[in-house]
Amino acid sequence: MNQALHTEILSDSQLKLIQLVESFKDDYYLVGGTALALQIGHRRSIDFDLFSNEKISTSEILKQVKSVAEIERVLVDSTIELTIMVNGVKLTWYAFGFKLLPAVDVDFCRMPDPATIGAMKLYALGRRAKWKDYVDLYFLLKEFDFTKLATKAEEIFGTAFEEKLARIQLSYFEDINYQEQIDFMPGFSVEDEEVKEYLTSIALA
């Protein structure tokens, strides 16, 4: 499936790394807020998250990156994750551990569709509390029914996902990490309170 992308959500620094991201297209797919923003255009992106359904070799990734770019910093280097800084942009490669078929195929990457990204974000709520995930879910739940996202999450994560817990997390706003500021695209700006009220209404429905 090919579709028009909102590449305006990418920074100049990210645009310079498109070729690097494309070089991993066969083995990795783009996920998270960047993949979502490229498809719906709601906010600016700050990073690239590349997931694989298979094991990853961080040494091979580093070798491939070094052949085309200078690595400024290695933030995480483990058996399942490599996170580095290149050109002021954070890039992560991650061994996902679940089977996922990215349905969207564009020039420089493959991505899950928005509903699948929503399912992944519902699952992530129980494991981290980043405000950007709540904002992304606000926009997703304007388009998709909560039950649809929860059903998709169950298909991907099986018993590791609990719908009841996801509903609780959706309306729990303590201990949220607000470190990464949301830079909305024109026409998409929304107040924090509106996000909280809407997500709470969905959670209690």
pLDDT at 1: 40
What is the rounded CA–CA span in Å between residue 201 and residue 156?
Answer: 25
pLDDT at 119: 98
What is the rounded CA–CA span in Å between residue 183 and residue 26?
Answer: 30
What's the chain look like in SS3? CCCCCCHHHCCHHHHCCHHHHHCCCCCCEEEHHHHHHHHHCCECCCEEEEEECCCCCHHHHHHHHHCCCCEEEEEEECCCEEEEEECCEEEEEEECCCCCCCCEECCCCEECCHHHHHHHHHHHHCCCCEHHHHHHHHHHHHHCCHHHHHHHHHHHHHHHCCHHHHHHHHCCCCCCECCCCCCECCCCCCCHHHHHHHHHHHHHC
- Domains, the chain, with CATH or none: 7-111 (3.10.450.620), 114-204 (no CATH)
pLDDT at 187: 97
pLDDT at 80: 97
The one-digit pLDDT tens for each residue of the chain (205 residues) are 446 899 999 999 999 999 999 999 999 999 999 999 999 999 999 999 999 999 999 999 999 999 999 999 999 999 999 999 999 999 999 999 999 989 999 999 999 999 999 999 999 997 888 999 999 999 999 999 999 999 999 999 999 999 999 999 999 999 898 988 999 999 999 999 999 999 999 999 9
pLDDT at 126: 77
